[in-house]
Structure 1
Amino acid sequence: MAVHSSSIVSRLLPIGLLLVAMASIQGGAALAATLFPLIGPGATTSLRLLIAATLLLTLFRPWRRPVARREWPNIAIYGIALASMNFLFYQAMAHIPLGIAVAFEFTGPLTVALLASKRRLDLLWVAIAIVGLAVLLGAGHNNGGTLNLYGVACALGAGACWAAYILFGQKAGEVSGLNSAIWGITIGALVVAPIGLVGADTGALGVHVLWFALGVAILSTALPYTLEMIALPRLPTQTFGTLMSLEPAFGALSGLLFLGQSLALAQWLAIAAVIAASIGTTVTGKTAETIETPYPD
């Protein structure tokens, strides 16, 4: 009986850790949104990236393991894609509800998964995803207004960066996933963060803002990243992909609970369609034993 209980715990623990990580990421996004009126989404992104890179460098000290010269290009592209994704996603959040932003951003990994498979059934998942996104565009806000196209474009751009993150993250993580990820985040922060600080109101950067930014960095990067590092080696690819497909739902719930962003029934159904398409792609697509690259947001 004890062995059986231990086996159940060993299977459920990584799933629980991944769910906590997703909740942490979306809670961090909601917390970040509270900083937008004070310093703007660009400066919020910059502070998150710089603080997160500092925390990860301090905790894991990746310089103790040298990186081969040939690995740096992939690491750099991976890091810049990740930082650009964060930058564009916060820009999207400033103009459209969190759950809708996550749904449009999810087109990135969904596209990568679809391109990796050649089955006819995948056409069904493409159709479902397109219908869901079309409904989101047509439904607009719950108050009847049209959905901000700049926000949608930024969310789609974040999705494209997410796709690049996956492709180059796999290459960068082939030798040392942890160290490569930390160096990538650091490079991305150094490249993208200055863009967000241009024109920022430095007078608003008080102690309380920095504390909030620290909370965003911990919730959105340091905590979920650490949890995922523990969970991912213990999860099959299909389980990981299925759980990650729930991310738009976590975003919508976080927006509702923390930001008061209520959605219309049609929008919830559209988000459910994107989730269904992602789960379908994961279940019927290629499989592998484990996931090598952590979730980025």
Structure 2
Amino acid sequence: MRTATVPRQQWTGVATMTGSGLSNQVGAALGSLAFPVLGPVGVVAVRQYVAAAVLLAVGRPRLREFTRRQWWPVGLLAVVFGTMNLSLYSAIERIGLGLAVTLEFLGPLALALSAARRRVDACCAVAAAAGVVVLLRPRPSTDYVGMGLGLLAAACWASYILLNRTVGRRIPGAQGSAAAALLSAVTFLPVGVLVAVRHPPTPTALACAVAAGVLASAVPYLADLLALRRIPAQTFGLFMSVNPVLAALVGWVLLGQALGGWEWGAVGAVVAANAVSMMTRRD
């Protein structure tokens, strides 16, 4: 009876992760539909508000009990959180969803490979680097600013992971993440007001921005919590690598952002590098 339960839990976890990835990318795609009215800054502001509301409800941080040693990584995490989302959405506006998410994914991939000392990980790093070279190769239509924003999002995601570990060690539960989301939302509050005054949001644009916050922040966060209870962390990391592929497919279906053969090859190289590294990991 127990042996039948474990696979069922794992399949449930995999299904939850797949749904989480689709939700994340569909949310980003819907958010991009609001760019003509709100711009990436306005969409990110709304997303930060939604993320703060969800994390505050889940984490319930006791802010008055935080010490200075706890506050400084929370403050850095808030800065990185906002910068990561702003750079990603700005990259999506310029180079499309699939390529932006692929570049952003290099952050956690580089972090994982940097801590490894195996020959297979070196080969994976070379494969991922080859994918980046393909994406960044000079062409008349190359948007280097968009590519740079995608790489900035990657650096922020890697920093986000490291800071989350520090916050998690110093503050119990999700209190630290909730406090960081609150600080980030407060920082974006005047930005959101300014955007609303200069470019009054239409109901459709506002609905798309809120949907981005729910689908790309609230749903993935809660889904990942449920998935990690059912599947090993290694499997979780492996399925995280599917996000660039999901982003490319969602961008093609919902936004009409088709990738060429070279771009698909680059996305495949980055995904394969992570998949091989995760599948051959023994610890």
Q: Deviations over 1:18-53 (max 9, x none)?
A: 111111000000001100011111111111112321
Alignment match, 2:123: 124
Is 2:162 the counterpart of 1:167? yes
Distance 2:225 2:164 in 1: 14
Structure 1 residues 34 and 126, CA gap change in structure 2 (3 angstroms): same
Which runs of structure 2 are paired with 1:60-75 in the superposition (5 Å)? 60-63=59-62, 66-75=65-74
Please report how far the alpha carbon of residue 146 of structure 1 lies from its aligned counterpart in structure 2 after TM superposition: 2.0
For residue 206 of structure 1, report the CA deviation from its aligned partner: 3.5
After superposition, residues 35-184 of structure 1 pair within 5 angstroms as 35-58=34-57, 60-63=59-62, 66-138=65-137, 146-174=141-169, 175-184=171-180
Aligned length: 282
- Which among 214, 219, 222 is matched to residue 215 of structure 2? 219
Q: Helix, strand or coil for the counterpart of 1:213?
A: helix
1:271 to 254, 267, 272: 267
Residues 22 and 66 (structure 1 numbering): CA distance in 2 closer, same or farther, change over 3 Å?
farther
Deviation at 1:202, TM superposition (A): 3.6
CA distance in 1, matches of 2:148, 2:63: 40
1:279 and 1:96 mapped to 2: Cα distance?
25
Q: State whether residues 139 and 267 of structure 1, in contact with CA within 8 Å, keep that contact through their aligned partners in structure 2.
A: no
- Structure 1, unpaired ranges of 5+: 288-297
Q: Is the 8 A contact 2:33 2:205 kept in 1?
A: no
Change (3 A) 1:72 1:123: same
How far the C-alpha of 1:89 sits from its partner, in A, is 0.2
State the match for 1:292 in structure 2. none
Question: Closer, same or farther in 2 for the Cα pair 1:139/1:270, shift >3 Å?
Answer: farther
Offset at residue 68 of structure 1 (A): 4.4
What SS does the aligned partner of 1:118 have? coil
Offset at residue 208 of structure 1 (A)? 3.4
Residue in structure 2 matched with residue 290 of structure 1 by the alignment: none
Deviation at 1:286, TM superposition (A): 6.9
- Name the CA shift for 1:211/1:165 in 2 (closer, same or farther; >3 Å): same
Q: Secondary structure at the match of 2:141?
A: coil
Q: Which residue of 2 aligns with 1:281?
A: 277
Aligned-residue CA RMSD (Å): 2.3
Contact 2:31 2:43 in 1 (8 A): yes
Q: Mean alpha-carbon deviation: is it higher for 66-75 or for 45-54? A: 66-75
- 1:95 to partner: Cα distance: 0.3
TM-score where L is the length of structure 2: 0.91
Cα distance in 2, alignment partners of residues 22 and 117 from structure 1: 26
**Aligned-partner residue type, residue 205 of structure 2:** V
Aligned equivalents of 1:197, 1:283: Cα separation in 2: 47
> Structure 1 residues 139 and 14, CA, compared in 2 at 3 Å: closer, same or farther?
farther
| CA distance, structure 2, for counterparts of residue 19 and residue 64 of structure 1 | 34
More displaced stretch, 183-192 vs 244-253: 183-192
The Cα shift of 1:177 comes to 3.7
- The offset of 1:181, in angstroms, is 1.5
Partner of residue 247, structure 2: 251
Q: Which residue is 2:230 aligned to? A: 234
Please report how far the alpha carbon of residue 65 of structure 1 lies from its aligned counterpart in structure 2 after TM superposition: 9.7
Letter in 2 for 1:189: A
Go from structure 1 to structure 2 and tell me whether the alpha carbon gap of 1:271 and 1:72 turns closer, same or farther (over 3 Å shift). same
Work out the CA distance in 1 between the residues paired with 2:68 and 2:282.
32
Larger deviation: 195-204 or 255-264? 195-204
User: % of aligned pairs identical?
Assistant: 33
1:229 Cα deviation after fit: 1.4
- Once the 2 structures are TM-superposed, how far is the Cα of residue 180 of structure 1 from its aligned partner? 1.6
- 2:99 maps to amino acid: I
